[in-house]
Amino acid sequence: MAPALVGLSHSPLIGKNDPDADTLARIEAAVAGARAFVAEFDPELVVLYAPDHYNGFFYKEMPPFCLATEATAVGDFGSQAGPLSVDTEAAKALAKGVLDRGVDLTVSARMTVDHGFVQPLEVLFDGIDRVPVVPVFVNGVATPLCPVSRIRALGTAVGEAAAELDKRVLFLASGGLSHDPPVPTLDGAPPRVADALIEGHPPTPQQRAKGEERVVQAGRDYAAGSTTMIPINPTWDNLVLDTFESGALADVDDWSVEWMGAEGGGSSHEVRTWVAAYASLAATGPYSMASRFYEAVPEWIAGFAVTTATPR
């Protein structure tokens, strides 16, 4: 088995509320570098760690993480809709391997996913059906959240199980770093919103368009400085990236939900996907970060990072 890793922030505002041309060019160059890295590695399997934004997982049953043996994308924020090319056999093998290692994984035979999963596949592979993938949902939005140490344990178990596959495996993380976009919360939600967050009624196209326009407007307000959202925190983001670069992954066991939320905002917990991916790579042996890019992008409400990593 040969592993590699890409960590990639996502934002539904990309292409809808872009930063200035110079900033965009720097980001595009970093993303092009990750694409070239992936093309050269030529993965036979992608283990994709991503969050959901109340399109697939709801409070009726909200697992801390879940592995899919089949998955379909809803097509939110203009992202591609339809089935992902899931490698069901590999997914089942990884699920068994994770459970055998004592991590209480939930499994979905029909996962619904959103832009969190789709965007990295579009950006790196030009579509959701181009490469065999095992989607792993990591809850980074819906509190209460499990300890970060359990995400590290998940990633470690997936990495160990993946090492038993005779494949080139790319561990791909989607999300983070510090950002506080308008994602609804159950605490304090009015009854109609609470019901939607619990039951997961699929929105009508009009309701979806209205919700998406609200997020785009929030990006404009944020970039203009007229907002109450928690600021992007480059100092914290770089501390997070330093942790991944140093390989001192056990440090994340001390990262509390409260500390992460205060430093990085309500969606900083998406960085759990990075914890899982780096733990997976570390489980296969010592690694080095091959490239590291970071930029605070208010227009996307995102501390935006791209990293690649390989075995040492």
Ligand X SMILES: O=C(O)CCC(=O)/C=C/C=C(\O)C(=O)O
Give the nearer residue to ligand X in terms of CB position, either 90 or 302. 302
State yes or no: is 10 an active-site residue: no
Q: List C-alpha distances in Å: 140 to 248, 283, 289.
A: 21, 22, 24
β-pair type (45-50, 2-8): unpaired
Which residues in 92-151 contact ligand X (CB under 6 A)? 116
Do the beta carbons of residue 162 and residue 77 sit within 8 Å?
Answer: no
Q: Which of 79, 267, 280, 284 binds ligand X (CB under 6 A)?
A: 267
Q: In what order do the strands lie in the sheet with 287-297?
A: 106-108, 65-68, 133-138, 45-50, 168-174, 2-8, 302-311, 287-297
State yes or no: is 179 an active-site residue: yes
Which residues in 10-29 contact ligand X (CB under 6 A)? 10-12
Q: Which of 24, 93, 183, 229 binds ligand X (CB under 6 A)?
A: 183
Name the amino acid, one letter, at 230: I
Which residues in 35-54 contact ligand X (CB under 6 A)? 53
Our finding on whether 211 is near ligand X (CB under 6 A) is yes
Give the nearer residue to ligand X in terms of CB position, either 279 or 297. 297
Query: In angstroms, rounded to a whole number, what is the distance separating the alpha carbons of residues 27 and 258?
Result: 30
Give the nearer residue to ligand X in terms of CB position, either 97 or 175. 175
Q: Which of 182, 200, 261, 311 binds ligand X (CB under 6 A)?
A: 182
Query: In angstroms, rounded to a whole number, what is the distance separating the alpha carbons of residues 272 and 245?
Result: 15
Q: Which of 10, 53, 179, 269 is catalytic?
A: 179
Which residues in 292-311 contact ligand X (CB under 6 A)? 301-302
3-class SS at 297?
Answer: strand
The residue ranges that bind ligand X (CB under 6 A) are 10-12, 53, 116, 175, 179, 181-184, 211, 214-215, 267, 270, 301-302
Q: Which residues are catalytic?
A: 115, 179
